[in-house]
Amino acid sequence: MPKQKKRYICQECGYQALKWSGQCPGCDSWNTLVEEIINPKQEKKEQQVTANVNLETIDKIETKVEDRLTSNFQELDRVLGGGIVPGSLILIGGDPGIGKSTLLLQASYNISEEYDKVMYVTGEESRRQVKLRANRLEAISSSLYILAETNLLSVINSIKELNPDLVVIDSIQTIHNPNLDSAPGSVSQVRDATNRLMKLAKKDGIPVFVVGHVTKQGSIAGPKVLEHMVDTVLYFEGDRHRDYRILRAVKNRFGSTNEVGIFEMQQSGLEEVLNPSQAFIAERPEGVSGSVIIPCLEGSRPILIELQALASSANFGTPSRMTTGIDHKRVSLILAVLEKRLGLHLQNQDVYINIVGGFQVDEPAIDLGMAIAIVSSFRDVSVSEKLAVIGEVGLSGEVRAISQIEKRVKEASKLGFSQFIIPKSNLQGLSSAYQDLTINGVANVREVLDLILGGE
């Protein structure tokens, strides 16, 4: 009898080792190497194949525009690039309880009502549990089929027999192939299940949604090859203790990765937020220092967010720096610029930065608004309620130009903002349609201080 082989595979990155160790050499994670037995019968022999007859020059390949499936969720369709492409494999990840299953069950119901059959495969819940959630979401349809199964071979056979318009796998970590000796959720099982579902989707033209668990660091659990195999990778973000949820694409072969979709969690399920700017600034306090409105750009859509800053005297020798929704290093950079270029003594101040609504912002256009919010809180002077601020701040204190200035100003003016502080080099990019607005162009942060606080 041939001897069985043992390998130790990292459950985080997929690194394979011949012996166990406490720390993975591939990703430096601790206690992630798990023993897996590989039977010789599973190792396929090398096959002799002839040249591929599909070899063809790119100019002779015929193409056609695929009709995408619409989910009746404008936010979801926007993130996917205009709808669901037939034959695509879509991976969606997010923290437990964030609403992944709720979103996909609602989308499955909408597609079953608009088109034909939809199969929802649940490996973590029973059929009755899914029915209870569907009753709450009012997502009951005679074309929505529920399959409570974890056997990969049974799932694939059921898909081939039903031939649905859409398949949802919730979740991929619970699906296992009984022909493999490794446990469900292991690297081998996840890789094999995803590979088989990908071949099925491409061959039969059936779009497949796959739910993936996330690690403590927030990335999708399993080897990185899992993200390379699928066509689209979506992340469902947000705070479980807040109502707003953000759907973001980090990979999309059929559209842009810059788009985001915004939802609000209600008792009856997820509802789209078609005007997120108004939602994020609806509860802005009046006459309070440290609050600034900044028009940010997420994909092709401008969104107004409220940035709050609080500067208070430090009780200990080392001041605290805490941020929510923005990179901590970016805040440290702006504080250093304010100290060096404006002479503000912030080294003995605790500084807290918060993006209201749980929104994550990573574009540099937020720099100038953050600087104004910090100075406003430090001097305890409030800024105008009709003011919106846009601009990137350099290390020498200069205010640099940002992209798509007219689109940002237009969105803010719709919501009643009539005063703007923008980079001076962006003034030429504005049309004459905004002459009724008070728009000040600044070249450095010193000019901003004179405008807002009267040069205090």
Of 173, 381, 423, 385, the C-alpha closest to 293 is 385
CB 272 within 8 A of CB 75: yes
Of 125, 226, 112, the C-alpha closest to 166 is 112
Is residue 205 classed exposed, middle or buried when 0-12, 13-18 and 19+ CB atoms within 10 A define those classes?
middle
The H or E element containing residue 308 is strand 301-313
Q: Could you tell me what percentage of the chain is helix, strand and coil, using 3-state DSSP and rounding each to the nearest 5?
A: 30, 25, 40
Is 97 assigned to a binding site? Answer: yes
Decide: pTM greater than 0.85: no
Report the pLDDT value the prediction gives residue 50, as an integer from 0 to 100. 61
The H or E element containing residue 103 is helix 100-114
Is 100 assigned to a binding site? Answer: yes
DSSP summary character for residue 22? S
Q: Rounded to whole angstroms, how far apart are CA atoms 362 and 341?
A: 24
Task: Dump pLDDT digits (tens) for 139-159.
Answer: 999 999 999 999 999 999 999
Q: Rounded to whole angstroms, how far apart are CA atoms 256 and 417?
A: 30
Fold type of domain 67-274: Rossmann fold (3.40.50)
Is 413 assigned to a binding site? Answer: no
Is 261 assigned to a binding site? Answer: no
CB 243 within 8 A of CB 269: no
User: Which option is the CATH number for 278-453: 3.40.91.50, 3.30.230.10, 3.30.470.10, 3.40.50.10470?
Assistant: 3.30.230.10
Cα atoms in the 13 Å half-sphere on the side-chain side of 403: 8
Give me the tens of pLDDT residue by residue for the chain, a chain 456 residues long: 556 678 888 877 778 888 888 998 888 888 888 887 766 555 454 455 565 667 788 888 877 766 899 999 999 999 999 999 999 999 998 888 889 999 999 999 999 999 989 999 999 899 999 999 999 999 999 999 999 999 999 999 999 999 999 999 998 989 999 988 777 887 778 888 999 999 999 999 999 999 988 766 666 666 566 788 899 999 988 776 678 888 989 899 988 887 888 899 888 899 998 888 888 888 888 888 999 999 998 877 889 999 999 999 988 778 899 999 899 999 999 999 999 998 888 988 999 999 987 788 888 999 999 999 999 999 999 998 999 999 999 999 999 999 989 999 999 998 889 999 999 999 887 877 788 889 999 999 989 887 876 544
Is 96 assigned to a binding site? Answer: yes
Is 101 assigned to a binding site? Answer: yes
Task: Dump pLDDT digits (tens) for 79-133.
Answer: 999 999 999 999 998 888 889 999 999 999 999 999 989 999 999 899 999 999 9
Is 95 assigned to a binding site? Answer: yes
- 118-122, strands of its sheet edge to edge: 144-148, 118-122, 166-170, 208-212, 89-94, 232-237, 244-252, 260-266, 269-272
- Domain map of the chain by residue range? 5-41, 67-274, 278-453
Q: Rounded to whole angstroms, how far apart are CA atoms 289 and 309?
A: 8
Is 178 assigned to a binding site? Answer: no
